[in-house]
Amino acid sequence: MYYYQHNSRALCSFEPNLPFEKLNRLPDTGTIAFLFRRPPLTGRDAFAVTHPRLLTAEESMAALTDAADAPEIPPALAEAVAEGRVTAANLDHPRWEALLTSPLPQGKKRVNLLALGDVGSTLLIGLKLLGGESISHLGICDVREEAAKRWEFELNQIAPPMAYDALPPVEIVPQEALFDCDVFLFCASRFVPDTAVKSGDVRMAQYALNRELVVSYARQARQAGYGGLFCVVSDPVDPLCRAALLRSNEDENGVFDGRGLLTHQVRGFGLGVMNARAAYYAKKDPRLASFLTEGRSFGPHGQGLTVANSIARYDDALSQELTAKTLRANLEMRELGFKPYVAPALSSGALSILAAIEGRWHYSSGYLDGVFMGCHSCLTPAGPAVEQLPLPGVLLRRIEEAAAVLRAIEV
């Protein structure tokens, strides 16, 4: 391992002749950047190094495991990894230095939300009621001017007595100011199947039109030089995240130039409700109860979802059964004659988004090995981190199969 310094930041790399000032040793404090090389956007370009085995340019779904095949590294670097002080950054990215900056500033965040339909308005209510400690302002925008006026009017009349500034204020923001914020929430949709649709993958039915929409806003973020979080809540969450990331990094000729969103800026919020739905069914069936204390959820918000009944005592048949129940939950609600949006807006939306911006563990989708893979994750000061667990081989293969399906979806 070789040590360098650049703009007062300590660097380390396996490359011996990088064009930076050389250091004899790593500092005992402060953040350290581990520099690696691979084609940009083929995997995470920036992330928290939470295990020595992540000190590599190789990436796969095995990043979700805690396998013990870690390389030997110098004690000072091992200590920095253990203390959460090491950020990995792709030196081949044309904006590699920007990878070392967190998309979230310290203190309360300004959050802008686009589109106030069923999901967006319910999410907004959740953030208003729960976001007093972490949100300074809630900006709202909708093509329907009266809808924005309605929610500004209603939500700013919610306040506890004698504590009128305890909850974040809601402000209407114009389209051109959407990216004057720290966190952007994409809740827009050009097509939502009505309650007559009771079969099939309802989420993917929305992809073609919603892809065009999310790409237009991702390109607006590019033009604005946006450096905050770009969060997708609309369906299908995970393919839309990938389209936003990849297409925002193309010039007017469709050629990659790396001037768009960075991999650690884009996150999808759809897995939180799938995990909560799995818990709902696990509470109703003693055979599935292990999920409540030992289970985890992985994959997309839709087909490819992988619910594990237990990590330590994994049972593939039970896990497949619980996964099937969870996937069908939205269709059950449609059979009752209602659109299934309240639980998604609050479990995947408000609760997960607040946990994310507060640096707590939550379920969301982050970029991993070329796709957006949902898992238990955390946005740390050193970058996004995924929970690493002793995953059984059959479970890891199910996750890899889901990743292959996601990778095949056109962006």
Cβ(159)–Cβ(132) under 8 Å?
no
The pLDDT value given to residue 190: 83
Q: How far is CA 134 from CA 155, 222, 296, 400, in A?
A: 17, 26, 27, 35
Q: Three-class SS string for 140-159?
A: EECCCHHHHHHHHHHHCCCC
pLDDT along the chain (411 residues), means of 10: 96 97 95 97 98 93 85 93 97 98 96 98 98 98 97 98 97 98 96 54 75 97 98 96 98 97 98 98 98 98 95 98 96 93 98 98 98 98 97 98 96 90
Q: What is the pLDDT of residue 191?
A: 64
Q: How many residues does the chain have?
A: 411
Q: Which long-range contacts (CB under 8 A, 24 or more apart) does 247-252 make?
A: 247/215, 247/218, 247/219, 247/411, 248/215, 248/218, 248/219, 248/221, 248/222, 249/40, 249/41, 249/222
CA distance 322 to 70: 33
166 C-beta neighbours (distance < 10 Å), count? 10
Place of tokens 């495991």: 65
Does this model's pTM top 0.85? My answer is yes
Question: Residue with structure tokens 């970058």?
Answer: 383
pLDDT at 207: 87
